């Protein structure tokens, strides 16, 4: 049994007196496709933001390949092997598709400011190599034909695939996907779902997916963690989770009996902080 | 028939200097939204550096210029890393105030160190000129045009094709996303200040050329480059170049052809008139884009 890729222990995040989540402990194994789901306000996005180092947790630890992830700066995550996508897209509007992917390889490039400025042979060869790798990532995502289009002109579904291609081009060990199918049409959902599945099957990657869309998660995830009110209520395979009483109550809710009365609907619910 | 060509060339050369000043402004503004009010003072430092290195230390002129560019670029980066970096997370306004502070310090320090008198630059061309078909071309202006062309070409190749050029553009578009994909944004800011310093050295050097000299008033040129950056669009380097050259030509042509009833110093006003006319049609400048906010 190899050590897990990601170890989360007793992770707690509070904003003042509001608790986003507390005492979360779970492992993500190497090569796993792991999903975090939960109703609105369960703390999914907050957890994602802690893992991507946007928020500093109140307590607890996150270890990535045995090293303390919380000591890394945001811009150092890429170099450590962690790539992320954004729920509302983190693309650079003025750049072309290819450039948007190429920038993800910044941390892999070696020639310094001076050498790249002076345009020496080494820098040029390196540049060509990275362009080829960026093109390969675009081809994997099936969007190579948009390589030279300005990113702002492309539809949302394509832009999302560009983001995933960029994360892939970063050559990460762990990819964090923040609600990849949020706000998409049915057809776009299918495409992204197929792309994520292909990423997991064909690339040497560990994927952590935060997602609201139950259908997508149940089809592709190997293990699912269900959050509710900032606490873990179940971890297991999609089949196990789907059978879990508490999950059915918390998430699939409505048509089943809403359960014990201590669940006052919105009172304890944390307003998920979004950017 | 030669007078208009003569003036056009003069205006073009002056516009090249404005373009360099404006480029320094836009490179910093594009990455960090900070209007660097010390750009003019950096120009002043550049001119004095060249003068001291060339006439004080008797370095060959080319070497003095290269050393001045390197020193001012290093100074710009050092200022960003030691002072501005501490202001991270503060409103942009705070950083702008710090640059105003820097300009006051420089503008006071230069006369205090070197006195208020003009110094010679130590350039090899001085007032020499070449005559082409009856048009007198001063060597200093020819060099201004050539060097500006070279620097702009280098800058645009760097911006377009190099790893750090891409990083600068990405940071300009979305700082948070840039961090997330591993762009060292702090280093990018330092780089923009180094570029601002480097182009200020060249701008200052040519600004101090014939018929001017190295004197404490040189920094005011930055004020005259201001309509240039507004005209081109604050965040657009190509806009800086087009704006700078336009303003240079407008200023020199209006000094030559403005009718007497407009007064003697109309040429100082003309760039602002052009700026206002352009802004009436294109409120974000010639190359600027209206900001689009997702709500």
Degrees (nearest 5) of the Cα angle B275, B144, B77? 80
Q: Cα dihedral angle (A188, A189, A194, A200), rounded to 10 degrees?
A: 120
- pLDDT at B48 exceeding the cut of 70: yes
Residue A177, both tokens: 């996907």
CB under 8 Å to B177, separation ≥6 — which residues? A86, A90, A91, A92, B170
> Could you give the angle at the alpha carbon of A90 between the alpha carbons of A89 and A94, nearest 5°?
110
ipTM of model: 0.72
Element (H, E) at A20: strand A18-28
The arithmetic mean of pLDDT across residues B46-54, rounded, is 92
Interface of A with B in 159-178 (CB under 8 A): 166, 170
pLDDT of residue A159: 92
- pLDDT at position A253 is 60
Task: Return the closest-CA partner of residue B216 out of B90, B107, B60.
Answer: B107
Cα–Cα distances in angstroms (integers) from residue B233 to residues A10, A212, B43, B116, in the given order: 51, 42, 21, 35
pLDDT-based confidence at B285, cuts 50/70/90? confident
First to last CA, chain A: 39
Chain pair A-B, CB pairs under 8 angstroms: 88
Phi-psi region for residue B248, left (φ > 0), alpha (ψ -120 to 50) or beta?
alpha
Given a cut of 60, whether residue A275 has pLDDT beyond it is no
Residue to test with chain B: of A53, A116, A120, A128, most B Cβ within 10 A = A116
Residues of B in Cβ contact (< 8 Å) with A79: 182
Find the mean pLDDT for residues A33-42.
89
Structure confidence at residue B90 (pLDDT): 82
Nearest CA in chain B to A91: B177
Residue A273 reports pLDDT greater than 50: no
Shortest CA distance from A170: residue in chain B: B181
| Distances B29 to A235, B196, B237, B272 between C-alpha atoms, Å | 48, 10, 10, 21
Please give, rounded to a whole number of angstroms, the shortest distance from the CA of A248 to a CA of chain B.
34
d(CA A189, CA A25): 30
| Cβ contact B164–A113 (<8 Å) | yes
Q: Is the pLDDT of residue A68 over 80?
A: yes
- pLDDT, residue B118, reads 84
CA-closest candidate to residue B59, choices B70, B75, B43, B73: B70
Separation CA B192–CA B189 (nearest Å)? 5
Task: Indicate if the pLDDT at residue A260 is higher than 80.
Answer: no
> Which percentage of chain B shows pLDDT scores above 70?
98
| B82: pLDDT strictly greater than 90 | yes
Would you call B180 and A76 a contact, using CB atoms and an 8 Å cutoff? no
Read off the pLDDT of residues A184-197 as tens digits, 9 standing for 90 and up. 888 999 999 999 99
Give me the pLDDT at residue B163, please: 85
Q: What is the pTM of this model?
A: 0.81
CA distance B2 to chain A (A): 40
In this predicted structure, the answer to whether residue A47 has a pLDDT above a threshold of 90 is: yes
| Residue B154 to chain A, least CA–CA distance (Å) | 8
Peptide bond into B211 cis (omega under 30): yes
pLDDT tens for B188-218 read 999 999 999 999 999 999 988 878 888 888 8
Q: Which residue has the tokens 């702009």?
A: B152
Does residue B245 surpass a pLDDT of 70?
Answer: yes
Report the gap between the CA of A241 and the closest CA in chain B (Å).
32
Residue of B nearest to A176 (CA): B180
Mean pLDDT of chain A: 85
Among A52, A88, A116, whose Cβ lies nearest the Cβ of B164? A116
> For position B123, what pLDDT does the model report?
84
A224, A237, A243, A244 from A240: Cα distances, Å? 9, 5, 5, 6
E-assigned strand segments in chain B:
129-132, 135-138
Subunit contact A116:B191, Cβ cutoff 8 A: no
- pLDDT confidence of residue A259: 43
Contact A74 B184 (CB under 8 A): no
- B172 interaction partners in chain A (CB closer than 8 Å): 94
């Amino acid at each position: 049994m190899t050590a897990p890729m990601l170890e989360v222990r007793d992770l707690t995040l509070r904003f003042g007196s509001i608790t986003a989540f507390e005492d979360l402990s779970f492992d993500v194994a190497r090569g796993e496709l792991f999903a975090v789901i939960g109703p609105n306000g369960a703390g999914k996005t907050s957890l994602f933001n802690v893992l991507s180092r946007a928020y500093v947790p109140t307590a607890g630890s996150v270890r990535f390949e045995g090293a303390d992830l919380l000591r890394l700066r945001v811009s150092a995550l890429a170099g450590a092997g962690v790539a992320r996508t954004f729920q509302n897209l983190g693309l650079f509007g003025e750049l072309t598709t290819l450039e948007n992917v190429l920038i993800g390889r910044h941390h892999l490039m070696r020639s310094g400011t001076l050498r790249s400025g002076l345009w020496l042979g080494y820098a040029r060869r390196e540049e060509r190599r990275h362009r080829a790798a960026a093109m390969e990532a675009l081809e994997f995502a099936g969007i190579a034909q948009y390589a030279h289009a300005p990113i702002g002109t492309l539809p949302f579904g394509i832009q999302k695939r560009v983001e995933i291609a960029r994360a892939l081009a970063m050559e990460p060990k762990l990819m964090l996907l923040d609600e990849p199918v949020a706000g998409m049409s049915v057809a776009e959902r299918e495409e992204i779902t197929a792309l994520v599945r292909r990423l997991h099957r064909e690339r040497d990657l560990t994927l952590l997916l935060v997602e609201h869309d139950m259908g997508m998660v149940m089809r592709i995830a190997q293990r699912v963690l269900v959050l509710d009110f900032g606490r873990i209520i179940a971890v297991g395979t999609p089949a196990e989770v789907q059978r879990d009483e508490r999950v059915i109550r918390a998430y699939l809710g409505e048509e089943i009996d809403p359960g014990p009365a201590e669940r006052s609907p919105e009172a304890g619910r944390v307003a998920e902080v979004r950017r | 028939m030669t007078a208009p060509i003569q003036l056009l060339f003069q205006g073009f050369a002056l516009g090249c200097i404005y373009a360099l000043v404006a480029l320094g402004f836009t490179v910093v503004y594009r990455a960090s939204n900070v209007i660097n009010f010390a750009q003019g003072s950096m120009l002043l430092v550049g001119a004095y550096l060249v003068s001291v290195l060339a006439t004080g230390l008797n370095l060959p002129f080319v070497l003095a210029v290269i050393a001045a560019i390197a020193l001012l670029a290093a100074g710009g980066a050092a200022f960003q890393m030691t002072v501005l970096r501490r202001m991270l997370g503060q409103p942009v306004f705070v950083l702008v105030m710090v640059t105003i502070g820097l300009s006051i310090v420089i503008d006071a320090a230069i006369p205090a160190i070197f006195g208020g008198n003009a110094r010679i630059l130590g350039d090899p061309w001085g007032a020499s000129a070449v005559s082409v078909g009856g048009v007198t071309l001063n060597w200093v202006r020819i060099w201004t045009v050539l060097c500006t062309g070279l620097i702009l070409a280098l800058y645009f190749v760097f911006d377009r094709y190099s790893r750090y050029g891409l990083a600068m553009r990405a940071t300009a578009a979305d700082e948070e996303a840039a961090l997330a994909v591993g762009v060292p944004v702090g280093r990018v800011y330092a780089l923009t200040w180094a570029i601002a310093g480097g182009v200020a050295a060249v701008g200052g050097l040519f600004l101090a050329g014939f018929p001017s000299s190295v004197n404490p008033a040189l920094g005011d040129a930055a004020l005259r480059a201001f309509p240039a950056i507004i005209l081109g669009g604050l965040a657009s380097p190509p806009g800086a170049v087009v704006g700078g050259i336009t303003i240079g030509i407008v200023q020199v042509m209006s000094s030559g052809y403005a009718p007497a009833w407009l007064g003697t110093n109309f040429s100082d006003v003309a760039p602002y008139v052009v700026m206002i006319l352009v802004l009436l049609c294109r409120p974000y400048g010639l190359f600027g884009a209206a900001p689009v906010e997702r709500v």
